[in-house]
Homo-oligomer: A and B are copies of this chain.
Amino acid sequence: MKQIAARAGLSVPTVGNVLGRASHRYSKETRDKVIQVAKELGYRPNSSAKAMRSGRFGCASLVVSRNRRLSDLPQMLIEGLDDELVQHSMHLMIARLPDEDFSKTDFVPKVLSESMADGMIINYTHSIPREMQDLICDHQVPAVWINARLRGDCTYPDDHNGARVAVEHLVAHGHRRIAYVHFISLPGDHPRVRFEDYLTTEHYSVADRRAGYREAVRAAGLPAIELGADAFVPGHDFIPQVTQLLARPDRPTAVLTYRFEEAEAVVIAAAQLGLSVPRDVSLVTFETEPWRAMAGRKVTTLLVPAPQEGREAVRMLLRKIQEPTAVLPPVPVPFTFVPGETIAPPGP
């Protein structure tokens, strides 16, 4: 701006005003001159200077763990966050925390020790280090938790209701024997790891999806047929277990699965038994990605509403930035039902 002012023979505030909100107060000549010189010099406003004056960074940070067992960074979430942030001329910053170090006393990650964003959106899906919660409270930074069911300031996919929706869909198609299959294991088929000082050690969706399933079948007067335990089941055991289920004389005519991995096992086990999806077995699964297919057939899916949750979280964060002391009530976000090609009426 100094250079522009010098070249145009004007003062710095004049340049600033013309380029900013007060250009109407200046003569057309001055305006044109400033704009032209600015273009010549390739002027780009410095966002740090802006931030310093305005007291706002115009930016939110997405906080995740470096430990892939504790949080992930899905593309759709980032898109949802960014979509809402741009509406408010803000942008997104990524902050990955080395959470092992939390045990060290006095360790404070940079996102917390420096002020570089107007607020934080925290995606610790599995277990939240207690030290981190404390640090955030101490630092009084506006923060919203996603994929977590806390007392407040959080959003989470409504797994409970999602399972209900799935069961109701299957019931509406005439199914009366609807099974739920969930072999819970962590990514990469590692055995479960327990962290002593974490607030939660299991993702709430494991309990919520099952609870939603149970309530929905009970409400419809149907039996609960469940396969899978909360214990670790290695991937290569999925198919034999599902095969047993589908080989029963009173086999289910429809299956709801916790993840796509279980859905795959259903398709393969069915094929091995000479059954076909959806002719003999209807299939609905929870999943984070849309349009996943098995054997070229799109699987009917309850899609984790990552984009919607992202937008919701940003809206919540903006309110927290305005009123940092308020505790906002948790916001459940409904799943998206993505019709696929794996539901049909049950055979006779």
Contact = CB atoms under 8 A, between A and B. Distances in A.
Contact of A75 (B57, B73, B112): B73
A94 B115 contact: no
This protein's copies in its complex: 2
A224 interface: no
B48 A296 contact: no
Nearest to A113: B44
Interface string A57-91: 10100000010000011110011001000100101
B140 A42 contact: yes
A113 B39 CA distance: 11
A235 interface: yes
Interface of A: 42, 44-49, 51-52, 57, 59, 66, 72-75, 78-79, 82, 86, 89, 91-96, 110, 112-116, 138-140, 188-189, 234-239, 264-265, 268, 271, 291, 293, 295-297
B72 A42 contact: no
B42 A48 contact: no
A93 B92 contact: yes
A5 to B, nearest CB: 18
A115 B295 contact: no
A344 B117 CA distance: 53
Given A48-B57, A92-B94, 6 more contacts: A45-B115, A49-B52, A74-B75, A92-B93, A93-B94, A271-B271
A110 B50 CA distance: 14
A62 to B, nearest CB: 8
